[in-house]
Amino acid sequence: MPMLNRSPATEEEAISVQLSLRQQCENRSPIDAGSIHIVAGADAAYAREQVFGALVCISFPERKILDQAVGQASITFPYIPGLFAFRELPVLETTFQNLRTIPDLLIAEGHGYAHPRRFGLASHLGTVLGVPTIGVAKKPLTCEVRVPGPDRGSVSEIIDENEVIGMAVRSKPGTRPVYVSRGFGTRLDLAVEIVLGLSGDHRMPEPLVLADRLARKARSDWKAGR
């Protein structure tokens, strides 16, 4: 089954795609925490014109690795803040096809609703795959955030245009907070709950740490064999 999706040719086209898919995203009713048993993390690593994707599924809340997959693609879109999804989406879709397990929830590295148009990578990926998602980013995108308290579990709201669009979460003491938002089929409170349930050993939730390592390994394996 060939993948006929092309990357947008212009920024304007990319933005209109976001505005269109956003409607579809908002249609999906949110899942609840009780239905989450398998959580996946998604990440990518770059080498020149190649990008390597990785997905790792773990059990929740036990954190046992259940399945994982990698994928490779050529880069087809530049990095533009606000349009980041168009850079990583193709390889993550390919990687998802290589996965044997359908996760109950997918964690993307980047923002979901906490986005200028409320449709970041996490929202976009979830909408395209039909899998509930949340976004976890290392930095806020557009708006500044109050700093949460020093204790693990402390949170502060990310507010834009008088709306709470995400949460800064102290996932590990002594490190900078992570920026959490809902994606496709999820709510912010659940997103925060999951992040706190899967972090602590590291600042980022475990599935993202594992996916990051796997993507880097896929890249080094590729470099070694050429």
Partner DNA sequence: GCGACAG
Partner DNA sequence: ATCTTGTCGC
Which residues form the interface with DNA (CB under 7 A)? Answer: 43-47, 79, 81-85, 109-111, 115, 120-122, 135, 137-142, 216, 219
Question: Residue 27 is inside which H or E element, if any?
Answer: helix 11-27
Q: Which amino acid is at 163?
A: E
Write the burial class of residue 6 (CB in 10 Å: 0-12 exposed, 13-18 middle, 19+ buried).
Answer: exposed
Provide the 8-state DSSP code for 2.
-
Phi, psi dihedral angles at 38 (to 5 degrees): -125, 120
Q: What is the separation of C-alpha 167 from the centre of its chain, rounded to a whole number of angstroms? A: 15
Instruction: Decide whether 37 or 139 has the Cβ nearer to DNA.
Output: 139
Q: At closest approach, how far in Å is the CB of 77 from DNA?
A: 11
Tokens standing for 94? 């390919």
Q: At closest approach, how far in Å is the CB of 219 from DNA?
A: 7
Instruction: Decide whether 66 or 172 has the Cβ nearer to DNA.
Output: 172
Q: At closest approach, how far in Å is the CB of 168 from DNA?
A: 13
Instruction: Decide whether 60 or 113 has the Cβ nearer to DNA.
Output: 113
Instruction: Decide whether 58 or 115 has the Cβ nearer to DNA.
Output: 115
Pick from 152, 146, 131, 135: nearest CA to 31:
131
Q: At closest approach, how far in Å is the CB of 4 from DNA?
A: 23
